[in-house]
Amino acid sequence: MQGRVAVVTGGGRGIGRAIAVKLAREGAKVAVSYRANDEAAKETAALVRDAGAECEVFRGDVASAGDVAALFEGVEAAFGKPEILVNNAGTTRDNIMLRMKEPEFDEVMETNLKGAYLCTQAVLRSMVRARWGRIINISSVVGILGNAGQANYAASKAGLLGLTRSVAREVAARGITVNAVAPGYVETELTGGLEESVKDQIRGQIPMGRFGEAEEVAEMVAFLAGEGAGYITGQTLAVDGGMAMQ
């Protein structure tokens, strides 16, 4: 993907950072979006540049149409039209359904699902003109299996799978692929808050018996973003140690 322009939302930390670095190693120019953590984003930019690639970081909320418009104006000014989009920005507001507050539901849906809608719409026209594009949506094993205490998150991640398949059908004939990656449990700040006893319980449900690494998710994203994956679209690729075998 030498010289390709890639945008990774939520690339400031965790899985998004690993994706940004991996795409940089593969030769892409990388734009990273993040919501608030300037320091983390600066670290990602340094890692991407160390990997030999150009990098720009953009602060903004993927759930805000104005912020997303500013993000893609910035990307175009810095690098040109985006050719690879990784919708990775995501968040959780866990609660059991009986207690889940409307803002908890809305916030998760807006970041995880509406954010992907806004960013996809922002890149699609130029990809159609170029007759080439790669869109990769980061879903979750939870979007496939469900998870007690995460109805909002699971709904947003399952929603992403429907979005993926629908957009994939719309643009398949234009040389654009749209796929989802469904990671299992990966050690990041998102899962860092889990108690050790809960982590042990989770490990018990993973055939491989361990959490995944962000870099293991990034490998799959890089594969899907590359030339070699040009005949794969509308798919959900699980990177989950065998949790959700299909």
* Catalytic sites, residue numbers: 153
Which residues partner with 176 through β-bridges? 133
Which residue number, 3 or 162, has a Cβ lying nearer to ligand NDP?
162
| Alpha-carbon gap, residue 229 to 210, rounded angstroms | 28
Q: Is 74 in the site for ligand NDP (CB under 6 A)?
A: no
Q: Cβ 96 to ligand NDP, closest distance in Å?
A: 19
Residue type, 10: G
Which residue number, 1 or 15, has a Cβ lying nearer to ligand NDP?
15
User: Which residues are within 8 A (CB) of 133 and not within 5 positions of it... i.e. 6 or more apart?
Assistant: 83, 84, 85, 123, 124, 127, 171, 174, 175, 176, 177
Both tokens of 111, joined, read 């970041």
Residue whose C-alpha is closest to residue 177's, from 239, 112, 221 = 221
**What is the per-residue binding string for ligand NDP in 152-191, x denoting contact by CB under 6 A?**
-------------------------------x-xx-xxxx
φ and ψ at 56, to 5 degrees? Answer: -130, 145
φ and ψ at 58, to 5 degrees? Answer: -135, 120
**What is the per-residue binding string for ligand NDP in 37-66, x denoting contact by CB under 6 A?**
x--x--------------------xxx---
- How many chain residues interact with ligand NDP (CB under 6 A)? 31
- Stretches 73-81, 83-91, 122-130, 226-234: which one binds ligand NDP (CB under 6 A)? 83-91
User: Contact residues for ligand NDP (CB under 6 A)?
Assistant: 9-10, 12-16, 33-37, 40, 61-63, 88-91, 111, 115, 138, 140, 183, 185-186, 188-191
